[in-house]
Structure 1
Amino acid sequence: MQYRILKILSFCVCMLPHKALLYIGKVLGILYFRCIAKERNRAIKQMRASLDNSESEAAELVKKSFINMGQSFLEILYTPRLNKANINDFVAPEGLEKVKNALAEGHGVVLLTGHVGNWEWLAASLAFNGMPTTTIVKPQPNSQHTRILNEYREMVGVEVFARGTSELLAAARALKKGKILGFLADQDAGPGGAFIKFLGRTASTPLGPAVFAHKFSSPVIPMFIVRRNDGKHRLIVGNVMRYKDSGNIDDDLLTFTREMTAFVEKVIRENPTQWLWFQKRWNTKPNEQKIKHHVSGRR
């Protein structure tokens, strides 16, 4: 039933001009900020702990992040309107040449990104600009939401590997075939993650990008999407990052993960209204760490 409701809503959204969609999304974001106290208060608390700003300053920034979230939600439902001919009207393609050059090396590309801006349209921009794009996705708590998200990802040409299946083997094959493998690297990684500083506090951080870069000699491209003042989007594309092998795999993975995490943190600090501050990024505590594979908590 929820899937059908979302599809009907998507059909209605697709009938609107983008500017109208942004206005409605702004209203939705403000309503969510005012009505959902649990997420609002968590976001303000976590922002203050990370950015050391006042409660009023944090509340204003969080409100803007909720507005961006509301607009991005409607844009995801607007995805059927995207195509090769119009994608660059919505997402400026500057910086994509770095990704193309990295792909030309023939080892695939590990794409480092996070829950910044409309990350679903980041993947759409890559795919519609002719770059083979894949991603490992975490199923949503609601299977109906997962269904429509994956349907729209595949609609724009993004290959999806769902966690809990044979996603690691599929991801490995994707890199071997010279494709892009995207990682949302700003999520809590649970007891098996690397416990390092993120926005000033120790957080369990995914080692996946470092592990795949090491195993397949793949270059890493940090890439994020943020909303411009006109409501459309621009890309933030960093320079190629590479795994450095000193012979100590634990230390090397940890060092590279720190380096990549520093870039993610920089993007968030420079664009605080674009990140999902209410996500449970610091949920797993350091005393819950379990060493798995090459995870190291040393230093």
Structure 2
Amino acid sequence: MLYALLKTLSWVASHTPYKLLVKIGTGLGHLYWHIAKKQRIRAEETIRECLGYSKFEANRTIKRLFVNLGISVMEMLYMPALNKDNIRGLVTFDHPEILWEALQQKKGVVMLACHIDNWEWLGAALALNGFPLSAVEKPQPNRVYSDFMNELRRSVGQEIFARGSSEILGCARAMKKGRMLGLIADQDGGYDGVFVPFLGKMASTPTGPAYFARKFKAPCIPIYIVRKPDGYGHQVIVEEPFYYEDTGDRKTDDYNLTLKMTQSVERIIKAYPDNWLWFQHRWNTPYEEVKAKEQDGSEK
């Protein structure tokens, strides 16, 4: 039933003029801002703590965020209508040559993205512009929804790996083929992550980018999508690559690359605060608890 509903909504959205779709999404975002009180309060509290915003500034910024989210939801449903011809008018790249030059090294590319603006359209724009993109599925609470989203991703040319025992193997094969491996750089890394400062707090951060950059000596390229000021379409920001610096101290080297990655994410969030998901559970893994356990272990 849910799958049929999602397919129907997607069919309707993909047959709706894009400008009208944005207006519908704007209304949806305003509605979501009113009814999602828990997420709204968490987002406002987080942005005030991290960026020092006043209550008024936080309220105004988070309201814009919810509007952007409403539009993004409609855009995701619109994905079947995307193709190589219309994507160039909807998503523009500032420095695509950085990506092409990195791919020419034939070592694969670790592409660092984050939960900013419509990250699903980032993947779609890359694939439809001819970039060989592989990515790991982000599991959703509902399996039907996950399957639906993976169907949309594959329909625009992305290679998707499901999380599980074969995840690392699939990613390694993609890198060996010289593909771009899309990794989300602003997720909570859990107890296996590396703690680095992020927006004023210590945050457990995934070590996947460091692992693949070290193993394949591949360039790491931060790449972000942000919504254009008028709400219609997106701009992709491609930053200069950085590389894993192997000094022989793996723990320190992993930390240094993860820190560079996190600092890049910080910069884009501060530049486009109404595009980032401030209500996500980014700091779920307790820093003090982990450090206390490590201290106890070293004393035994």
Q: Give 5+ residue unaligned stretches, structure 2.
A: 292-300
Partner of 1:99: 99
Give the match's secondary structure for 1:134.
strand
Q: Which amino acid aligns with 1:264?
A: V
1:193 aligns with 2:190: no
Partner of 1:139: 139
TM-score where L is the length of structure 2: 0.95
Deviation at 1:211, TM superposition (A): 1.1
For 1:112 and 1:289, locate their aligned partners in 2 and report how far apart those are by CA, in whole Å. 26
Partner of 2:295: none
For 1:154 and 1:288, locate their aligned partners in 2 and report how far apart those are by CA, in whole Å. 40
Partner of 2:213: 213
Q: Which amino acid aligns with 1:186?
A: D
For 2:81 and 2:139, locate their aligned partners in 1 and report how far apart those are by CA, in whole Å. 24
Give the match's secondary structure for 2:270.
helix
User: 1:43–1:277: 8 Å Cα contact kept in structure 2?
Assistant: yes
Partner of 1:202: 202
Deviation at 1:288, TM superposition (A): 4.2
For 1:85 and 1:13, locate their aligned partners in 2 and report how far apart those are by CA, in whole Å. 18
Write the mapping of 1:25-64 to structure 2, written as runs, cut at 5 A. 25-64=25-64
For 1:211 and 1:288, locate their aligned partners in 2 and report how far apart those are by CA, in whole Å. 25
More displaced 10-residue stretch of structure 1: 280-289 or 44-53? 280-289
1:19 aligns with 2:13: no
Q: Which amino acid aligns with 1:202?
A: M
Deviation at 1:287, TM superposition (A): 3.5
Partner of 1:237: 238
Partner of 1:285: 286
Give the match's secondary structure for 1:92.
strand
Partner of 1:171: 171
For 1:175 and 1:186, locate their aligned partners in 2 and report how far apart those are by CA, in whole Å. 21
User: 1:193–1:289: 8 Å Cα contact kept in structure 2?
Assistant: no
Partner of 2:159: 159
For 1:212 and 1:29, locate their aligned partners in 2 and report how far apart those are by CA, in whole Å. 37
After superposition, give the CA deviation of every residue in 1:98-134 in whole Å (9 maximum; x if it has no partner).
1110000010000001001111111111111111100
Aligned length: 290
For 2:290 and 2:216, locate their aligned partners in 1 and report how far apart those are by CA, in whole Å. 27
User: Do the aligned partners of residues 183 and 288 (structure 1) sit closer, same or farther apart at CA in structure 2, a change above 3 Å counting?
Assistant: farther
Deviation at 1:286, TM superposition (A): 1.1
For 1:128 and 1:289, locate their aligned partners in 2 and report how far apart those are by CA, in whole Å. 42
RMSD value over aligned CA atoms? Answer: 1.0
After superposition, give the CA deviation of every residue in 1:162-207 in whole Å (9 maximum; x if it has no partner).
1124110000010010000001110111111111111111111111
User: 2:128–2:157: 8 Å Cα contact kept in structure 1?
Assistant: yes
User: 2:93–2:238: 8 Å Cα contact kept in structure 1?
Assistant: no
Q: Which amino acid aligns with 1:270?
A: A
User: 2:107–2:218: 8 Å Cα contact kept in structure 1?
Assistant: yes
Partner of 1:114: 114
Partner of 2:262: 261
Question: Runs of 4+ in structure 1 displaced over 6 angstroms?
Answer: none
1:77 aligns with 2:82: no
Partner of 2:298: none
User: 1:192–1:289: 8 Å Cα contact kept in structure 2?
Assistant: no
Q: Which amino acid aligns with 2:249?
A: N
Give the match's secondary structure for 2:105.
coil
Deviation at 1:56, TM superposition (A): 1.5
User: 2:93–2:237: 8 Å Cα contact kept in structure 1?
Assistant: no
Q: Which amino acid aligns with 2:267?
A: K
Q: Give 5+ residue unaligned stretches, structure 1.
A: 291-299
Deviation at 1:42, TM superposition (A): 0.6
For 1:165 and 1:71, locate their aligned partners in 2 and report how far apart those are by CA, in whole Å. 35
TM-score where L is the length of structure 1: 0.95
For 1:95 and 1:114, locate their aligned partners in 2 and report how far apart those are by CA, in whole Å. 18
For 1:77 and 1:160, locate their aligned partners in 2 and report how far apart those are by CA, in whole Å. 18
Give the match's secondary structure for 2:196.
strand
- Percent identity over paired residues: 47
